[in-house]
Amino acid sequence: ICFDLALQTKEMIEAGTVLQDRYRIEKQIGQGGMGAVYIATDERFGSTVAIKETLFMDDNYRKAIEREARLLNSLKHNALPRVTDHFLEENVQFLVMEYISGEDLSHALEDNGRPFPVEQVLTWADQLLDALDFLHNQVNPVIHRDIKPQNMMITTRGQIKIFFAPVIKALVIPANRNQ
């Protein structure tokens, strides 16, 4: 079966569905070529989370998504959403992360209708550059590979959060790279 066909025939998860006996789906908030994103309630803690559904084709892709989930869970930075869980259910991968209230930068640009104030853009640029510096300076540097307004969220407090689309790249660079 063609992957695109699988995506076209995959139905949205209904509100009220409980995944892993823990996450109650509230509603779908996004959809892309690789799956969908839902708002859910973590019934163990009573908190709101975002659940990213990722459809996959083969065992290699499944393993890559699992590695990505472990990597994202290990990254702790104010501009990155916290990843708290990962699981496989009915041949679909799920990544559970902090729910960020706000709008993506592309929608904010459309809604604003004019350029943002320079001071605000500089603040966001500082936050973005700090996050990229953090990612690039890991023991195994992490390369985002898809920085664009659709992958950045402006929180209700005016902070930038960077989202990852699968699959990010963690480089393994030899120890003598500077020689």
**Which residues does the annotation mark as catalytic?**
146
Is residue 89 within a helix (H) or strand (E), and if so which, with residue range? strand 83-89
Quick check: 7 and 55 in contact, CB under 8 A? yes
Specify burial of residue 84 (Cβ count, 10 A radius: 0-12, 13-18, 19+).
Answer: middle
3-state secondary structure of 164: coil
Please answer whether residues 61 and 71 qualify as being in contact, where contact means their C-beta atoms are separated by less than 8 angstroms.
no
Q: How many CB atoms lie within 10 A of CB 123?
A: 15
